[in-house]
Amino acid sequence: MSKKAAEHHRKASEHHSEASRHHGEAAKHHESGHHEKAAHHAHTAHGHATHARDHADHASKAHTEEHGKK
């Protein structure tokens, strides 16, 4: 795998981890009735998930550039 693709996979993994953490925080705040804090964490989680998908797409493109379509 190219270093470029590997780096995008690593970044996607990091963003997925951050999204998971923020979803957990959102759940905690929602359960305790702090809905504004819950919304903030949910929104932040969505942003990390979006970035993760973007990095996954870039990894796929980098892999295709290196190895060609089969």
pLDDT in tens, 9-42: 999 999 999 999 999 999 999 999 999 999 999 9
Q: In the prediction, which pLDDT does 67 show?
A: 85
Is position 28 within any domain?
yes
Q: In the prediction, which pLDDT does 69 show?
A: 65
pTM of the predicted protein model = 0.86
Percent of the chain at pLDDT exceeding 90: 86
b/e code 37-62 from CB counts within 10 Å (16+ = b): ebeebbebbeebbebbeebbebbeeb
Expressed as residue numbers, the domain containing 59 is 3-65
Is position 70 within any domain?
no
Is position 13 within any domain?
yes
Question: How far are the Cα atoms of 6, 14, 62 from residue 3, in angstroms, in the given order?
Answer: 5, 16, 9
